[in-house]
Amino acid sequence: MYAIIKDRGKQYKVRAGERHLIDLKANAQIGETVEFHDILVYSDEGGNAAFRAADNKNAKVIAEIEGMKKTAKSMTIKFRRRKESMTRKGHREKYTQIKIKEILLG
């Protein structure tokens, strides 16, 4: 049984018991439960996929927030030859780690 959920413009294929990294939810607390109602596709135990899951208003995915994570730092260097000039910039993307508790099809 799986579901494809949409959260703020990104899609995730989730199963019960899996852990996923989603974009940072700034106001989220560790241990808090989150519900995703925007389900694009879901399948039942028999493997039958149901598209247009938006027609099923009761379908939802329940997840628990486990913590916040950061990716490895990525560095960008802009080097200008013969100018004695160089610019360095670093960036770390922030994510929220969630664990999928259950998928309710209504």
- Tokens 């999928």 found at: 100
What are the E-state strand segments in 24-84?
33-36, 39-43, 49-50, 60-70, 74-80
Looking at residue 61, what is its pLDDT? Answer: 93
pTM: predicted TM-score of the whole model, two decimal places: 0.78
Number of domains the chain is built from: 1
**Cα–Cα distance measured from residue 82 to residue 63, given in angstroms and rounded to the nearest whole number:** 54
> Two tokens at 42?
């879901």
Query: What range does the domain containing 26 cover?
Result: 3-104
pLDDT tens string 13-56? 999 999 999 999 889 899 999 999 888 888 877 777 777 655 67
